[in-house]
Amino acid sequence: MKSVLTELPVEWDYAGDDDGLDAGSVSYIKFLGRKLFQEYEPNQFQVFEDRLVDWLNNLDSESDQKLLLALLVELFFVGRREFEALYRSVYGGILSQWIVDQDQLNLFDPDIDGHIRASLNSCWLCPITDSLRINSFLKVNGLKSMEHRPDWKSLVKFGDVKKIKSYMAENKIKKIVLLEDFVGSGTQVQEALDYVEKSLKDFNVLICPLVVCPKGDELVSKKVEKLVNVDYKPGLLIPNEAMFQRGTNSPNPELYEKFWQLFSRLQGRLGISKTEAMLGFKKTGAQVVMYSNCPNNTLTLFHRETDDWKPLFARVNRV
């Protein structure tokens, strides 16, 4: 019998153990829907719960729908306020520590906060891609920085090294801080690092992504090892256990095996030939969505849109 939902069934909230849904999952999702998921910008004019019902209705059977909902319970959604907290946290922690080390500041100096702020303002604080909202970052932390704060993805593509260096000299920039909101596989950071390696070896650089997946962390760490002028310090490293994994490494092997079987049945509808590709870009298996967009490293059935599949967090892709 085909199950077509018009709303989230309250009775699922206390369904049997076999469904993989913990008691209270529906109310938990409803609560997060109102408080958090509703912030998702690409769908800001749609009610989250309506999208959720559409997403669940991609599937015909009630047990599959429950399984999909159980997958949503596992999701880590980083909302606007969480990002603002991360902005503050990396400023007060990683960035400040880096400045103290770089400038060899005296920690017992009563004006230490002022020195850190002044020193950071003299750095070139730039985003690696335009998804990190540098203006918000500076405002939240009361920083000024340089007048121009280009994203390095564009800079690498269109920038003229001479012009860049002359801008840095004019503004007496000695240090560069590169920020990024999310690093999945690490590809985009790698491009920025290649540029630093090739053209900006004389400057001290800090790479500080706010949220990093283990794969990206491994790649960036390895790359940075060879670069003496570059430090890498992530704001929040997602633990391996929070990535989609099968088998004994999974937090719930039985449930995750059921997810995997579901992926295998759905891959065709999502235009995917191998089940592994359901784990997102470079098989990262992230279960992360940000309020601003859904990373392509996240499980495909959250964000991929096809004629036969409505996503829950439709992703805004670059052309």
Give the binding site for another protein (CB under 8 A): 10-11, 13-18, 23-24, 27-28, 30-31, 34
Minimal distance, residue 251 CB to another protein, in Å: 16
Q: Which is nearer to another protein, 38 or 121 (CB)?
A: 38
Q: Which is nearer to another protein, 21 or 168 (CB)?
A: 21
Q: Which is nearer to another protein, 135 or 252 (CB)?
A: 252
Minimal distance, residue 49 CB to another protein, in Å: 12
Q: Which is nearer to another protein, 35 or 265 (CB)?
A: 35
CA distance 243 to 297: 10
Quick one: which of 263, 212, 209, 247 has its CA closest to 231?
209
Q: Which is nearer to another protein, 18 or 254 (CB)?
A: 18
3-class SS letters over the chain:
CCCCCCCCCHHHHHCCHHHCCCCCHHHHHHHHHHHCHHHCHHHCCCCHHHHHHHHHCCCCCHHHHHHHHHHHHCCEEECHHHHHHHHHHHHHHHHHHHHHHHHCCCCCCCCHHHHHHHHHHCCEEEECCCCCCHHHHHHHHCCCCCCCCCCHHHHHHHCCHHHHHHHHHHCCCCEEEEEEEEECCCHHHHHHHHHHHHHCCCCEEEEEEEEECHHHHHHHHHHHHCCCCEEECCCEECCHHHCCCCHHHCCCHHHHHHHHHHHHHHCCCCCCCCHHHHHCHHHCCECEEECCCCCCCECHHHHCCECCECCCCCCCCCC
Minimal distance, residue 28 CB to another protein, in Å: 6
Q: Which is nearer to another protein, 26 or 196 (CB)?
A: 26
Rounded to the nearest 10°, the torsion over CA 256, 31, 23, 298 is 0
Minimal distance, residue 29 CB to another protein, in Å: 9
Q: Which is nearer to another protein, 63 or 229 (CB)?
A: 63
Q: Which is nearer to another protein, 13 or 74 (CB)?
A: 13
Minimal distance, residue 66 CB to another protein, in Å: 12
Minimal distance, residue 25 CB to another protein, in Å: 9
